[in-house]
Structure formats: C-alpha cells, structure tokens
C-alpha cells in the first residue's frame, strides 16, 4: 500500500485561531488537490507557539460543537489530518496537543507529555503535562503521535513502537539555535539525526512537520522530513520556507526492512519490563 503524506510547513499567526483556521483550510485544499492521504500540521498550528498568557484564550474544547473543530472535522473527509492546538480538558487544564482527525471523527488526541521548562523554554509554566502515550489505528495501519520535546525522550517513541505504531508522526515548533560554521543550525541537525535514528532503530516510518516563521526574536527552521524504515530520507522540506512538502511512502517497505533487520521481532520487552521494575524498585 502506498500513501501520500503531506507536511504543512507553515507560519501560524500568534494567538489568532480564526486566521489560522483559514490557513489550515487553504492548506488542506491544496493537499487534497495534490492527492494527499494524510496531512500533518506542526505543533500548535492553530495558535502559534510562544503564547504565554495567551494560552488560555487560545484554548479549544475538542468536540463537534466547537466551530473550529467542526470545520476541521468536516475537512477530514478522505484526507486524514493531524493538527496542533491548545487543548482545554473538562477540568480546565490546558495542554499542548495534537489531534488526529479522519472521516469527520476525532480518532485520537495526544497531550504533550514533556514540557520543556528550561533555558529559552517556559512551557511548564503555562501548560499541564499529558500523562499517557498510546498508538492508535488508522486506515493506514497503527500510528503514534508525539510533540517536539516528547521525542527528545527516547522512551516515548519506544513505547509507541511496542504499542504497534509503524508510522511515527512528529509535530514541532522548534526554535532555531546554534549558529556555527556549519550550513545548518545545531538544532536542525540534532532533530534530524534523532528522527533518522528512530526510523532506523525501530524500522519505522518517521514523519516530522516543523513550523517556520518568527515570534519576536525566535526563528523556526522548518526542514520537515520523512524517513523510511531503513533510516533513509524520503523527503526534506527546505529550511525556513513556508511550503507543503509531499511524498509517497510505500508501506510494504516495512515488510522488506523487517525481513532484513528483525529488530522488532527480537526486542526483549519482558526483559525491559523486568529490568525497569528492578531499577525503579532500587531507587
């Protein structure tokens, strides 16, 4: 089975959900016209990233009666969508979240688990951390979603892999940093190495949508990618440019890669659980 994945590398307007919804619908139209099956938007694509006190104003209760969600659900007929938003739960906790929408339904919501609150980041001040990670079924097989700092922790992609995800969908609003003599920023190189490593180590597809644009002095570097189960680059969007990157992936590659390299078959999960219990018991 071959599917076309589109990565929406775009620049949302800070805190303006209506303007961003309009942009989403335009990009969705464009992706549909180009035959995409799945369209991935970056982290907080409906709101922009450095919201600070705007976070609570930009929050959405994700259900059909919300006009923004309703419009996106309607747009998810025949084109699966992963969108980024501020999730307000029933108890009015605010999360950085991604929702997977298909055929007018919310299939899954992932609340960002690791909120960077160090250095230039202050997410933990404004958001609640998610507390679960789950793979879920789609018409393309089982997939898993993570948001930016989530995949700086190897445990989460690993858990999704064990939970059956063959395609990892990553969303970021990654501020560019680390200007050296190299042609790309250190942050861009680091994230791309990580994505490639997960693809190769898990013999999985890894698709990553990262935003572009500026918020105050922060630049967002784009460079969205898809890696295949051999760890080979399928597509890389240009750095710093708004674009809709698109590539066809062949899900049969999973068969071929795992026949050659049975890392999933040989994974010693019971051993992992046992040793983890021991380590946690000792601490």
Partner 1 sequence: MIDLTINTELAEKILVGFIRSELGRVGFKRTLMGVSGGIDSAVSLYLSTKALGPENVLAVRMPYQTSAPDTLEDAQFMIDDLRVQSMTVDITPMVDPLIQYYKEMSKIRAGNIMARMRMIVLYDQSVPFNGLVMGTSNKTEMLLGYSTIFGDAAAAIQPIGDLYKTQVRQFARHLGVPEKVIAKAPSADLWEDQTDEGELGFTYAEVDRLLYLLIDQRYRPETCVDEGFEPAFVERVVKLMQKNHYKRVMPPIAKLSQRTIGYDFLYLRDWGT
Residues that bind partner 1 (CB under 8 A): 13-15, 50, 52-54, 176, 179-185, 213-217, 219, 240
CB of 194 to partner 1, least distance (A): 20
At 279, is the secondary structure helix, strand, or coil? helix
Instruction: Indicate the helix (H) or strand (E) that contains 118.
Output: none
**Beta strands across the sheet bearing 136-138:** 136-138, 141-147, 167-172, 205-210, 225-227, 233-236
CB of 32 to partner 1, least distance (A): 29
CB of 212 to partner 1, least distance (A): 9
Quickly count helices (H) and strands (E) in the chain: 8, 15
Nearer to partner 1 by Cβ, of 51 and 107: the residue is 51
CB of 117 to partner 1, least distance (A): 14
CB of 14 to partner 1, least distance (A): 6
Per the CB < 8 A criterion, the answer to whether 101 and 72 are in contact is yes
């Amino acid at each position: 089975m071959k599917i076309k994945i589109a990565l929406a590398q775009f620049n949302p307007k800070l805190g303006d959900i209506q303007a961003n919804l309009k942009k989403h619908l335009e990009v969705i139209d464009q992706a549909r016209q180009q035959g995409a099956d799945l369209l991935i938007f970056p982290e907080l694509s409906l709101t922009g990233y450095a919201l600070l006190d705007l976070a609570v104003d930009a929050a959405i209760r994700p259900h059909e009666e919300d006009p923004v969600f309703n419009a996106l659900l309607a747009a998810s007929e025949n084109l699966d969508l992963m969108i980024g938003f501020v999730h307000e739960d029933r108890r009015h906790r605010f999360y950085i979240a991604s929702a997977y929408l298909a055929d007018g339904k919310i299939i899954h919501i992932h609340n960002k688990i690791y909120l960077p609150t160090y250095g230039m980041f202050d997410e933990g001040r404004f958001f609640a951390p998610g507390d679960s990670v789950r793979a879920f079924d789609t018409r393309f097989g089982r997939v898993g979603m993570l948001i930016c700092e989530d995949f700086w922790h190897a445990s989460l992609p690993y858990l999704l892999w064990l939970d059956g995800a063959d395609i990892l969908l990553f969303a970021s609003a990654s501020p560019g940093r680390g200007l050296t003599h190299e042609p790309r920023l250190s942050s861009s190189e680091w994230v791309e190495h990580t994505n490639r490593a997960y693809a190769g180590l898990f013999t999985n597809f890894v698709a990553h949508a990262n935003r572009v644009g500026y918020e105050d002095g922060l630049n967002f570097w784009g460079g969205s990618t898809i890696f295949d189960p051999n760890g080979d680059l399928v597509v890389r969007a240009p750095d710093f440019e708004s674009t809709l990157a698109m590539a066809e992936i062949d899900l049969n590659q999973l068969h071929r890669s795992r026949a050659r390299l049975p890392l999933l078959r040989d994974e010693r999960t019971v051993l992992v659980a046992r040793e983890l219990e021991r380590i946690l018991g000792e601490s």
